[in-house]
A and B are shown apart, each in its own frame.
Chain A
Amino acid sequence: AQSVAQPEDQVNVAEGNPLTVKCTYSVSGNPYLFWYVQYPNRGLQFLLKYITGDNLVKGSYGFEAEFNKSQTSFHLKKPSALVSDSALYFCAVRDIYGNNRLAFGKGNQVVVIP
Chain B
Amino acid sequence: DTGVSQNPRHKITKRGQNVTFRCDPISEHNRLYWYRQTLGQGPEFLTYFQNEAQLEKSRLLSDRFSAERPKGSFSTLEIQRTEQGDSAMYLCASSSNAEEQYFGPGTRLTVT
A residues in contact (CB < 8 Å) with B: 4, 32, 34, 36, 41-46, 49, 51, 90, 92, 94, 99-107
Contacts and interface: CB of A to CB of B under 8 A. Distances in A.
B102 A46 contact: yes
Interface of B: 4, 31, 33, 35, 40-45, 48, 55-56, 58, 91, 93, 98-106
A103 B106 CA distance: 18
A34 B100 contact: yes
B42 A101 contact: no
A95 to B, nearest CB: 10
A43 B91 contact: yes
A53 to B, nearest CB: 13
Given A44-B103, A101-B56, 17 more contacts: A32-B98, A41-B105, A43-B105, A44-B93, A46-B101, A46-B102, A49-B99, A49-B100, A92-B42, A100-B33, A100-B56, A101-B33, A101-B48, A101-B58, A105-B42, A106-B41, A107-B40
